[in-house]
């Protein structure tokens, strides 16, 4: 009996070696290659579309639960850390899982080289997840060094889709906990100390922003566009277009909230001045707003207006 048991275990060992030698399936190879190509493209939407839909939806549900709980406490710390203060909870709740991940990706970093083909070395099972390990071969014009790659996959019908990388999960945890990674400078570097202090806001800007915010908060959209938008804006904007903007502002609470949030964010930033100091350009990228800059301009009477 002992001899039979020995031969049986030996057969199982050979069977395991044969299964491992078979390597990944074609569907697994396709799923891993598609995900790495999406990462190499730099498109957050492409990455989201190659991730396992159930995993992306699970992440979305988990984070929305957290954001709703803090909203009940009249707090927005997590929302600002993940998406920037310009994103409202209502806007995030209306997003599909793919759009949600795309919006979140402004705070995330995921990179991959471009590869022409892969040499898959093995499959490591871990419950419902399998890890494909291999080497990526770059296009000829990008050298000949093969790079080790690993992709975690989970079955999705007849396909295999990538699960959310643990690196992304770690970055989300850093954001939620307020941990920021600071890249060290050269040893003994005094570059940080040598940076000039940001220029203060020019006289009149703070007052303009505060009054414009109060106007929108009171629902006075027509006043906002007539008094606080620049003469140039009013000169080159048709009457019908301006009427449409005022109507949209008046009837859409989300629009007014975005405008108010923008004015509050700008009050905490330092602009770059050009045109002899008569224009102030604020960089609002990464703040969760639907635009990347906010511009003020000054007229000949030294009064500031919102230019765009």
Q: Is the same domain home to 141 and 38?
A: yes
Over its length of 308 residues, how does the chain's per-residue pLDDT go in tens digits? 444 443 334 333 434 433 444 589 999 999 999 999 999 999 999 999 999 999 999 999 999 999 999 999 989 899 999 998 888 899 999 999 999 999 998 888 888 899 999 999 999 999 999 999 999 999 988 888 999 999 999 999 999 999 999 999 999 999 999 886 544 444 344 444 444 455 567 888 989 999 999 999 999 999 999 999 998 888 888 989 999 999 999 999 888 988 998 998 998 888 999 888 889 999 988 888 888 899 999 988 889 999 98
Contact 28, 154 (CB under 8 A): no
Measure the CA–CA gap between 132 and 123, rounded to whole angstroms: 5
Q: Is the same domain home to 150 and 283?
A: no
Instruction: Identify the domain boundary among 123, 156, 171.
Output: 171
Any domain includes 266: yes
Q: What is the pLDDT of residue 17?
A: 39
Nearest to 136 by CA among 21, 35, 22: 35
Q: Is the same domain home to 95 and 38?
A: yes
Q: Which long-range contacts (CB under 8 A, 24 or more apart) does 42-48 make?
A: 44/101, 44/102, 44/105, 44/106, 44/108, 45/98, 45/102, 47/101, 47/105, 47/110, 48/97, 48/98, 48/101, 48/102, 48/105
Q: Which residue stretches of the chain are H helix?
A: 2-22, 26-41, 44-50, 53-72, 77-83, 89-93, 97-104, 166-177, 191-194, 205-217, 221-223, 231-236, 239-251, 253-266
Q: Is the same domain home to 31 and 96?
A: yes
Measure the CA–CA gap between 101 and 296, rounded to whole angstroms: 32
Q: What is the pLDDT of residue 202?
A: 83
Contact 53, 156 (CB under 8 A): yes
Q: What is the pLDDT of residue 285?
A: 86
Domain that residue 44 falls in: 26-171
Any domain includes 200: no
Contact 104, 97 (CB under 8 A): no
Q: What is the pLDDT of residue 301?
A: 85
Q: Is the same domain home to 274 and 165?
A: no
Q: State the virtual CA torsion across 265, 267, 270, 276 in degrees, nearest 10.
A: 120
Q: Is the same domain home to 210 and 165?
A: no
Any domain includes 191: no
Q: What is the pLDDT of residue 22?
A: 56
Q: What is the pLDDT of residue 183?
A: 40
Q: Is the same domain home to 85 and 31?
A: yes
Q: State the virtual CA torsion across 227, 232, 238, 240 in degrees, nearest 10.
A: -20
């Amino acid at each position: 009996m002992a001899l039979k048991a020995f031969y049986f275990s030996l057969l199982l060992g050979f069977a395991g070696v044969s299964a491992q030698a078979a390597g990944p399936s074609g569907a697994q190879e396709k799923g891993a290659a598609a995900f790495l190509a999406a990462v190499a493209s730099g498109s957050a939407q492409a990455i989201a579309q190659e991730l396992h839909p159930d995993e992306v939806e699970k992440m979305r549900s988990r984070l929305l639960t957290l954001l709703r709980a803090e909203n009940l406490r009249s707090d927005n710390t997590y929302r600002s850390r993940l998406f920037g203060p310009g994103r409202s909870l209502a806007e995030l709740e209306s997003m599909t899982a793919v759009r949600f991940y795309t919006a979140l990706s402004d705070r995330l970093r995921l990179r991959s080289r471009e590869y022409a083909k892969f040499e898959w070395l093995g499959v490591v099972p871990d419950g419902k997840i399998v890890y494909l390990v291999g080497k990526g071969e770059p296009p000829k014009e990008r050298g000949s060094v093969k790079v080790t790659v690993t992709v975690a996959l989970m079955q999705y019908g007849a396909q295999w889709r990538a699960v959310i990388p643990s690196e992304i999960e770690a970055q989300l945890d850093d954001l939620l906990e307020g941990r920021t990674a600071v890249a060290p400078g050269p040893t003994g570097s005094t570059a940080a100390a040598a940076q000039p202090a940001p220029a203060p806001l020019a006289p009149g800007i703070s007052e303009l922003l505060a009054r414009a915010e109060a106007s929108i908060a009171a629902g006075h959209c027509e006043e906002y566009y007539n008094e606080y938008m620049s003469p140039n804006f009013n000169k080159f904007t048709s009457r019908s277009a301006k009427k449409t903007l005022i109507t949209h502002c008046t009837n859409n609470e989300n629009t007014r909230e975005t405008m108010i949030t923008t004015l509050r964010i700008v009050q905490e930033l330092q602009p770059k001045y050009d045109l002899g100091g008569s224009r102030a350009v604020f960089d609002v990228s990464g703040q969760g707003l639907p635009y990347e800059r906010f511009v003020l301009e000054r007229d000949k009477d030294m009064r500031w207006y919102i230019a765009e």
